[in-house]
Amino acid sequence: MSGRKWGYAGTWPPRAAAPIGGLAPSRPAFWPPLIETLRAWARAEAGAGRLLPWMPVAFGSGIAFYFAADHEPVLSVVAALAIVLCAAAVLLRRQ
């Protein structure tokens, strides 16, 4: 076993070598292509019959938010939000 090289142990690069801005680059040229890609993915996902598989995800997320809340939601706020979302669904369906 002597003489065999099993691997290399190193350290992180010095702080000066790390890119500034963390994970998201601060260059403005990066954001427009990313936003356009996300819009294209959303358009493809919103095709006919493609949103139905997301219903259990939305339902489960609502249940998780409900049980994670510190107190019961205010009825007037929930009713107003439900009316606004139903109206938006009706208006978007007509398009």
Asked if pLDDT for residue 87 goes beyond 70, the answer is yes
Count of domains for the chain: 1
Contacts of residue 20, defined as CB under 8 A and 6 or more positions apart, other chains included, come to: 26
Give me the pLDDT at residue 34, please: 84
Going by the DSSP 8-state scheme, the letter that residue 50 receives in this structure is T
Give residue 75's domain range.
30-94
Q: What whole-number distance in Å separates Cα of residue 78 and Cα of residue 85?
A: 10
Report the pLDDT averaged over residues 8-26. Answer: 59
Name which residue leads in pLDDT, 40 or 49: 40
Give me the pLDDT at residue 2, please: 62
Contacts of residue 18, defined as CB under 8 A and 6 or more positions apart, other chains included, come to: none
Within a domain: residue 70? yes
Within a domain: residue 74? yes
Within a domain: residue 18? no
| Two tokens, residue 52 | 């139905």
CA R_g for the chain: 24
Residue recorded with tokens 């493809």 = 44
